[in-house]
């Protein structure tokens, strides 16, 4: 790992960012970006946030919440996402979820050894939640993290049984032989419209549509990425042995559809919450380590929900943190 010159001012006001460089991968130059904001008073507690698919860190309100709990905030824009995406790379692509372990290991080392934090919460959303789960399992015996929080994790595809079977029988093998074979698009325009304030659908957030596409362009989904996700999901569905306190939070229902309707404002319109319910119970070595909290009318990213469910989300998270942090 080669770390660049150090922290610079981030695109988000009040935040710093630093680039982490790695040896070239199968597409050439590759890097990740660590964004951070420190508590006004010295603290030895920290959180590392991992975004979802077709996503990057932009939720400054989430960071401010953690800071209010005396927890230093860090977020990774993974390789080929957001701040870390480069023109020669396939957008958001990986052949194997373990590719991200390099930046996770580097970030954890920087947070703990360089910055002196002694307690670390790993917080993953959606695809980042899937990644955080397998990483927490694989690093459980290394003392890398002390607690795990999953916000609407991507434990299965939100498709009917026949589509899932097709992905297993056809797309997964194709992903091994022809990883860049395009199988569809990754755009979720109506969900994006429900979050971004400019679409006047009730959303209150602002983000860069080059990095989190809504209507500006449609990213391609490649078979190799489907295979990588599927292999990670199989691990979760088969059962993990995470040895740290784990919180899974989700909406009370799923919704969505091909055209705009009210469920885009009061449900998870990306994933099936029943999959989270079913597979979340398989995460930990002991069930006493696992907590699941359901947020009424929560959206897919609970931190981007409407005002009342978002308030409920933060209150519930605050209570769990107080119970499981020093």
Cα 287 from chain centroid? 23
Cα–Cα distance list, 249 to 42, 113, 317 (Å): 29, 30, 9
Q: pLDDT by residue (tens digit) across 279-296?
A: 999 999 887 999 999 999
CA distance 42 to 316: 25
User: Where are the chain's structural domains?
Assistant: 2-324
CA distance 81 to 67: 25
CA distance 137 to 292: 18
pLDDT value of position 245: 97
- Read off the pLDDT band of 121 (50, 70, 90): very high
Residue 3 has pLDDT above 60, yes or no: no
Buried b (16+ CB within 10 A) or exposed e, 77-94: bbbbbbbbbeeebbbbbb
CA distance 129 to 208: 22
Residue 235 has pLDDT above 80, yes or no: yes
pLDDT value of position 133: 98
The residues that bridge with 22 in the sheet, in sequence order, are: 30
CATH class held by domain 2-324: alpha beta
pLDDT value of position 4: 59
- Read off the pLDDT band of 162 (50, 70, 90): low
Both tokens assigned to 295: 């947020």
Q: pLDDT by residue (tens digit) across 217-230?
A: 889 999 999 999 99
Q: Is 148 helix (H, G, I), strand (E, B) or coil?
A: strand
Alpha helices (H) in the chain, listed in sequence order: 60-68, 101-109, 127-138, 161-166, 172-177, 189-195, 223-238, 273-280, 307-324
Both tokens assigned to 48: 């590392």
pLDDT value of position 5: 57
**What percent of the chain stands above pLDDT 90?**
88
> What's the whole-number mean pLDDT along residues 268-275?
97
pLDDT value of position 286: 80
- Read off the pLDDT band of 138 (50, 70, 90): very high
The dihedrals phi and psi of 86, each to the nearest 5 degrees, come to -125, 150
Q: Model's pTM, two decimal places?
A: 0.96
Range scoring the smallest mean pLDDT among 60-69, 151-160, 201-210, 264-273: 151-160
For 25, the enclosing helix (H) or strand (E) is strand 16-25
**What percent of the chain stands above pLDDT 70?**
96
pLDDT value of position 104: 98
Range scoring the smallest mean pLDDT among 111-115, 159-163, 205-209: 159-163
């Amino acid at each position: 790992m080669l770390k660049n010159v150090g922290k610079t001012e981030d695109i988000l006001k009040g935040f710093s960012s630093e680039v982490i460089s790695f040896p070239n991968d199968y597409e050439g130059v590759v890097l990740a970006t660590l964004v951070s904001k420190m508590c006004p008073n010295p603290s030895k507690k920290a959180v590392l946030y991992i975004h979802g698919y077709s996503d990057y860190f932009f939720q400054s309100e989430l960071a401010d919440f953690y800071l209010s709990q005396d927890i230093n905030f860090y977020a990774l824009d993974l390789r080929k996402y957001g701040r870390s995406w480069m023109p020669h790379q396939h957008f958001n692509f990986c052949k194997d979820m373990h590719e991200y372990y390099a930046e996770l290991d580097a970030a954890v080392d920087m947070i703990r050894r360089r910055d002196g934090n002694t307690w670390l919460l790993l917080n993953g959303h959606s695809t980042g939640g899937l990644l955080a789960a397998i990483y927490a399992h694989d690093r459980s015996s290394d003392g890398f993290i002390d607690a795990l929080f999953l916000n609407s994790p991507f434990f299965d595809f939100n498709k009917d049984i026949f589509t899932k079977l097709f992905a297993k029988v056809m797309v997964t093998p194709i992903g091994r032989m022809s990883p860049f074979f395009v199988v569809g698009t990754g755009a979720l325009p109506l969900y994006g419209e429900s979050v971004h304030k400019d679409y006047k659908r009730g959303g209150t957030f602002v983000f860069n549509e080059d990095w989190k596409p809504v209507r500006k362009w449609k990213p391609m989904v490649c078979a190799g990425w489907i295979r990588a996700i599927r292999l990670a999901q199989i691990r979760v569905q088969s059962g993990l042995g995470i040895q740290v306190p784990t919180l899974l939070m989700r909406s009370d229902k799923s919704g969505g559809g091909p055209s705009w309707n009210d469920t885009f404002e009061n449900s998870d319109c990306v994933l099936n919450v029943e999959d989270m319910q079913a597979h979340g119970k398989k995460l930990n070595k002991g069930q006493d380590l696992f907590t699941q909290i359901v947020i009424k009318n929560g959206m897919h990213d609970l931190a981007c929900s409407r005002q009342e469910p978002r308030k409920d989300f933060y209150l519930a998270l605050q209570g769990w943190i107080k119970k499981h942090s020093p």
